[in-house]
Chains A and B, each alone.
Chain A
Amino acid sequence: ETGVTQTPRHLVMGMTNKKSLKCEQHLGHNAMYWYKQSAKKPLELMFVYNFKEQTENNSVPSRFSPECPNSSHLFLHLHTLQPEDSALYLCASSQDGGTRIDEQYFGPGTRLTVT
């Protein structure tokens, strides 16, 4: 596979469930990102990881828990979500050149519905 892949592509979960979203990048990049795209807001950055270390948490509620075991994989663990968390969750990666990033490449997204 090439580029950035995400699984699952669609997920329906109840508010008491625990689930995880997975992202894998095959581009040799060292930075990975989670974004949320909902119907009524612009695309929002959630988390940034550089070299497996979290460098940005954009005031995301603790019911979202990211994990980055290595530079190629990124997870988003979900628990006790609310219906307003229903959205498209996009993963992206980039090559961090030091002070400025190269462009970000996005995965296909996971469409999450919380019932």
Chain B
Amino acid sequence: ELKVEQNPLFLSMQEGKNYTIYCNYSTTSDRLYWYRQDPGKSLESLFVLLSNGAVKQEGRLMASLDTKARLSTLHITAAVHDLSATYFCAGLQGAQKLVFGQGTRLTINP
């Protein structure tokens, strides 16, 4: 059974700094997803990573996937306050079951 673990679970950082959220998963997963959730809101899809070595970037966020290490990373460059949210990674078990990590609550301080 697929298990997904994120770290850190809480991250407080200053604007302008760089940081990385890590997502480890236990068994083979064909895809890796990253979602963002603002307080009281639903999940917004950020990235879908399909293959080993995949790298996707959107603004200050960059996600990568290493299927051999069973590791995905979400890198934040020069953080701004608007990026404060909870970030989830999820792996795919079977054809349709998304298995989510615990989430990383990111707070960016001025």
Interface residues of A (CB under 8 A from B): 31, 33, 42-45, 48, 50, 55-56, 58, 90, 92, 94, 96, 99-101, 103-109
Contact = CB atoms under 8 A, between A and B. Distances in A.
Interface stretch (B14-22, B57-65, B66-74, B96-104): B96-104
A2 to B, nearest CB: 14
Secondary structure at the B interface, as helix, strand, loop or mixed, is strand
B43 A90 contact: yes
Contacts of B95: 96, 99-101
Interface in B51-110: 88, 90, 92, 95-103
Nearest to B90: A43
A101 B48 CA distance: 11
A100 B98 CA distance: 11
Nearest to B33: A103
A58 B30 CA distance: 20
A36 B52 CA distance: 30
A92 B95 CA distance: 15
Secondary structure at the A interface, as helix, strand, loop or mixed, is strand
A39 B99 CA distance: 17
A31 B96 contact: yes
B97 A106 contact: no
B96 A107 contact: no
A50 B33 CA distance: 21
Contacts of A107: 42
Contact of B42 (A45, A90, A96, A103): A90
